[in-house]
Amino acid sequence: MEISGKTAIVTGAASGIGLGIATALAEAGANVVMADIEKDTVEQAAHLLSGTNKQVLPVRIDVTQEQSVIAALAEAERRFGKLHIACNNAGVPMHGTRLVDVPVADWAFVIGVNVWGVIHGIRHFVPAILKHGEAGHVVNTASVAATQNRRGTDQGPYSMSKYAVLSLSEALEHELEGTNVGVTALCPGPIATNLAQGARHRPDHLGGPQLQPTAEAVMAERLARTGIDPRLVGERVIDAIRNKTFYAFVSAVPADVIRARHRRIEAELETRWTTTY
């Protein structure tokens, strides 16, 4: 679809990948609603972008809260009219603790932002895109962690949340067949962002801000060392929207691990225990 002149909302747009996507969309001529839980930071980011003659609107959103998503959408439609592109991108990490030791509040946090955030986006942004009949696109930020569980990282809760994002995206693609609204599951490898400090603005109803200096430092170092510039992810998203790419990988991917997982599943598809349908 043509991006210029269309309106997009990007959640988690104050930092990292969301900021990269918002920048690329604005550069491609879209009106961009930059939505983030960090009000001051997203306002500063929008100020920098709009200074280059871009049409951007910063709004505060907490994607874990349905009413907040509804309010952000209303603000977007008041300012720009129709919504065409929704990037459900806000997300938080959950690494470094084995499954049996992850506290219930941490499960609620990672599922609240990474899964419910996308569900709320689907429930409210998608009908807003469909109601005017013009072309549109939904981008859900999953991860390479949506396609395999990486040994040694103790990132089971994060990976689980991203498998859920991938599954939601696949189901959404099926449901939108026959419409002019495309779907992309964005699957980045390491990107140099602030993800390691993801618990910095943990909502109070999900346990409040919590710092885990050791786990954060390990992850921050890995992302800084191996991660690519989030602006490249923005370019990847523009390409995926224009070419209707569903699985949009970008940066380093553990291709052998993904293939081995698929081969293992395939090997079990035709045993004496199964039939086909």
- Just list the catalytic residues: 158
Tell me: does residue 148 bind ligand NAD (CB under 6 A). Answer: no
Tell me: does residue 25 bind ligand NAD (CB under 6 A). Answer: no
Tell me: does residue 37 bind ligand NAD (CB under 6 A). Answer: yes
- Least Å distance, CB 202 to ligand NAD, is 8
- Least Å distance, CB 240 to ligand NAD, is 14
- Least Å distance, CB 244 to ligand NAD, is 21
- Total Cβ atoms within 10 A of residue 74: 13
Separation of alpha carbons 208 and 169, rounded Å:
29
Which residues partner with 8 through β-bridges?
Answer: 32, 85
> Collapsing DSSP states into helix, strand and coil, what is residue 270?
coil
3, 8, 9, 14: which one binds ligand NAD (CB under 6 A): 14
- Longest CA–CA separation in the chain, Å: 65
Q: What is the DSSP string of 85-114?
A: EEEE-------SS-GGG--HHHHHHHHIII
188, 216, 236, 240: which one binds ligand NAD (CB under 6 A): 188
Tell me: does residue 121 bind ligand NAD (CB under 6 A). Answer: no
Residues 46-105 that bind ligand NAD (CB under 6 A): 61-64, 89-92
Q: In what order do the strands lie in the sheet with 31-36?
A: 56-60, 31-36, 7-11, 85-88, 136-141, 181-188, 247-250
Which residues partner with 246 through β-bridges?
Answer: none
- Token digits for 208? 């409040």
1, 27, 38, 170: which one binds ligand NAD (CB under 6 A): 38
Binding site for ligand NAD (CB under 6 A): 11-12, 14-18, 36-38, 61-64, 89-92, 113, 141, 143, 188, 190-191, 193-195, 198, 201, 203, 223, 227
